Homo-oligomer: A and B are copies of this chain.
Amino acid sequence: MTRTLFRGFRLAGVGAVIFTVAGFSLSAQAAGPSGKQIARQTCSACHGLQGAGNPQAGFPRIAGHPAAYLEAQLRAFAAGQRANAIMQGEAKQLSPAELQAVSRYYAQLESPARVVVNAKPQTLREGRETVVNGRWQKNIPSCESCHGPGARGIAPSFPPLAGQNVKYLEAQFRAWKSGHRPGGPDDLMQHIAQQLDTHQIHAAAEYLASLPPTGKLAAGTQADVAPSIPDALPGYFQPPIEKDLPQGKFGESVHRGYLIFTRTPKYAVEYTGNGLSCSNCHTDRGRQANASPMWAAWVAYPAYRGKNKKVNDMAMRLQGCFRYSENAQGSKAGHFPPAESPILIDLESYMFWMAHKAPTGVKMKGRGYPRLKNPPQPYSRNRGEEVYARSCAVCHGSTGQGKKLANGEYAFPPLWGSDSYNWGAGMHKVNVAAAFIKYNMPLGHPGMLTLQEAWDVAAWIDSHPRPQDPRYHGGLKATIHKFHHNRKIDYYGKTVDGRVLGAPSPGKTGQNISP
């Protein structure tokens, strides 16, 4: 019995563990054969030996899904957390090693690219809106935010949805709504399912089912400059939507601005010294209230800023973003874009357009990040570490490194380290990060963290190495004295785990990654 072949083995963990059975070597990559046998015997009746599933019956396509994801699902079925009598019965019979093997087997199969589309164009359009643009009026990001471009999944936690069958997808939403399936990381899917109505779910499922799981990305899988329907949170300013986009040269500038804003390391490569895009901190393409939206920022400048002790127009303000949040010192150019740079002009065009009809000079509701109350207890980076592992690591990685796509662009931004914001960015302040987190994270489920958790996890994130403050001058003490007064919310120069944060790397000038 294949089922018993590995029964005696207990693997300590996943990964490229190599072990030997009956005289031949099996690497994780070579687990296919036995996995295939399990699949043939146990899974293929419903899912097929090629993992294509059964659309009519609503059995999911599982080919090409991340092995860890599949294994986790099998465990959840076995434990009864995912309610399905058949799957529970089958999963319970498999040993941990067998669960892993069969998961790996299906994971390495390429999902067939061909999909059959029966839905009406209007349904697909509506579905695309959820999948590609999100439903930000309910704080729901696009499916692609987590499931990747073309909804092809981001391993290990986010399965592909492209080409998945409609019946299965709809059933999952019902299961999340009813509690028959765990909500997944941060209960995200349960929360999202509760926000969407049956019609929206059906349309999204139809659109997802229409997407090819492999091969060239379908047209229209890139998010639009703006959603097709109003997306403002209730009671907040509504920026213009896709149909309002201007034509001609100015429209082209808006579009370029959008690309720079949402894919900064690619479209402003010369001046970007890390892996962050503007849209990482200004969610929904800079449109979302309480995430420092661009429509509120546009009407607030020129303004005096204590940070550089000058009145800043928008071009200068954006230079500040590049200098700190984008760590321009580490870029090819080594500095932020000059004032006349088309990059700044295009960003201004994009912001200006987004602020259409917003009253000039008025403090808009939803601007910046809301001021956060102090936490009940003083914040603790140790408690924050736990929050981070539980709620953040699934996207941002256990060491804050974020997650890259195959094309080298980040799917989830790095929160510390050399590819994150530097010690001069506003986000390095615990209070700023805490406010952003409380009101915007986790994406799709903001408000989930308590006030205390938001502060704690912000402390954890902001007490790690990151690129040097570009204003570093005359040593750490002098730099602290000049730019890092507020010691209550600032780890710069503090000793954490034996490292002095912000200290220049040995032999470096202070303009490099630190400590």
Q: List A residues at the B interface (Cβ < 8 Å).
A: 248-250, 253, 298-299, 301-304, 310-316, 338-340, 344-346, 348-349, 352-353, 355-362
Contact = CB atoms under 8 A, between A and B. Distances in A.
Contacts of A316: 340, 345
B356 A357 contact: no
Contact of A345 (B302, B340, B356): B302
B360 A302 contact: no
Contacts of A248: 304
A310 B346 CA distance: 11
A311 B357 contact: no
A394 to B, nearest CB: 39
Contact of A361 (B303, B312, B339, B355): B355
A304 B253 contact: yes
A304 B250 contact: yes
A338 B339 CA distance: 9
Contact of A352 (B249, B340, B345, B360): B360
Contacts of A299: 360
Contacts of A311: 249-250, 253, 345-346, 349
Nearest to A250: B304
Given A298-B360, A311-B349, A312-B345, 4 more contacts: A315-B339, A316-B345, A355-B361, A357-B359
A250 B315 contact: no
Contact of A302 (B338, B352, B357): B352
Contact of A314 (B253, B313, B338, B356): B313
Given A253-B302, A304-B253, A360 B355 contact: yes
B302 A250 contact: yes
A249 B311 CA distance: 7
**4 closest residue pairs by CB, A with B:** A339-B339, A249-B304, A253-B311, A356-B361
Nearest to A358: B360
A301 B250 CA distance: 10
Contact of A340 (B304, B339, B359): B339
A253 B316 CA distance: 15
A90 B336 CA distance: 77
Contact of A357 (B301, B310, B362): B362
Contacts of A302: 250, 253, 345, 348-349, 352
Contacts of A358: 359-360
A348 B313 contact: yes
Contacts of A353: 361
5 contacts: A250-B304, A316-B340, A355-B361, A356-B360, A357-B359
A472 to B, nearest CB: 23
A249 B306 CA distance: 10
A315 B358 CA distance: 21
Contacts of A340: 316, 339
Considering residues A303, A315, A357, A360, which has the most beta carbons from chain B within 10 angstroms of its beta carbon? A360
Contacts of A314: 313
A311 to B, nearest CB: 4
Contacts of A253: 302, 304, 311
Nearest to A313: B348
Contacts of A338: 339
Contacts of A304: 248-250, 253
A356 B249 CA distance: 28
Given A340-B339, A357-B359, A358-B359, A352 B301 contact: yes
A301 B310 CA distance: 22
